A = this chain, B = another copy of it.
Amino acid sequence: MASPQAAKRQKSSKDVPYELIYWPGIPGRGEHIRLAFEEAGAEYTDTAHEEGGIEKVMAAIDPKSTGDDLNPPTCAPPVLKHGDLKINQTPNILLYLGPRLGLVPSAEEDEDAVYKINALALTALDGLSNEAHDCHHPVATSKYYEDQTEEAKTKSADYIANRLPKFLGYFEGVLSGEASKGGEFLYGGKLSYADLVLFQCVDGVKFAFPKALARLEKEGKYERVFALHESVKERPKIKAYLESERRQKYSMGIYRHYPELDED
């Protein structure tokens, strides 16, 4: 990643608050970015809480846009604006913010840490966010859930039976491994943004599939994963954030609770 020197040089040339451009009304993928800001105590603005926020999101992802001289157009939110820079893709924004917010080890402490942390974040987002979304929209992103309920039931049953245990088991393995340095955090014995991502993913699937998750938690095979979810929730800045009005409620976003998709 940027060497600490580069990050510092960058920071001084971009000495402005971060701007998060994301839909109002749901935590969604923007939540991963918010949790990083909140844990770090960073200054940021958020279109979810601004008047005209939706218009700002629409402008940022206008399919007719070709971007500007510095930045390619951005296809989908979340989008991060920082000074002249405008980037999207959740794991990419976290990659940019990681060294700036102190949520990854510096290159001098641990040169390849960013690649290990990025892989963990990508895997959590794949298995516990994107696939959880596909449970309620398996065959047509552009149609309503009500137009694909049967397919959603099939997909959710497979997700609960096969995919959730696979990914929870994978992260339990990560937390049981030596590279986690103790099993409290995913990597290196210190909080990184990958822990915040996993927290939010577990939080989301708990909302979407409460019965399945309660059973999986009771089975005791993923103790470290559920413990991480609890311990991140209790971190002072995260706790204050979750209790604030800045934390939006789950509704019709990535994580949706349809009782008919959960197990009995």
Closest Cβ of chain B to A215, distance in Å, is 19
Interface contact A2-B162, CB-CB below 8 Å? no
Q: Contact flags (1/0) for A161-179 with B, using CB distance below 8 Å? A: 0110011011001101111
Interface status of A71 (Cβ within 8 A of chain B): yes
Interface contact B73-A173, CB-CB below 8 Å? yes
Q: How many residues of A contact B (CB 8 A)?
A: 67
Interface status of A115 (Cβ within 8 A of chain B): yes
Interface status of A214 (Cβ within 8 A of chain B): no
Interface contact B74-A119, CB-CB below 8 Å? yes
* Residues of B close to A177: CB separation below 8 A: 65-68, 72-73
Interface residues of A in 94-126 (CB under 8 A from B): 95-96, 107, 111-112, 115-116, 118-120, 122-123
Give chain A's interface residues, CB within 8 Å of chain B.
1-3, 5-6, 10, 63-76, 85, 87-89, 91-92, 95-96, 107, 111-112, 115-116, 118-120, 122-123, 127, 130, 134, 138-143, 148, 151, 154-155, 158, 162-163, 166-167, 169-170, 173-174, 176-180, 186-187
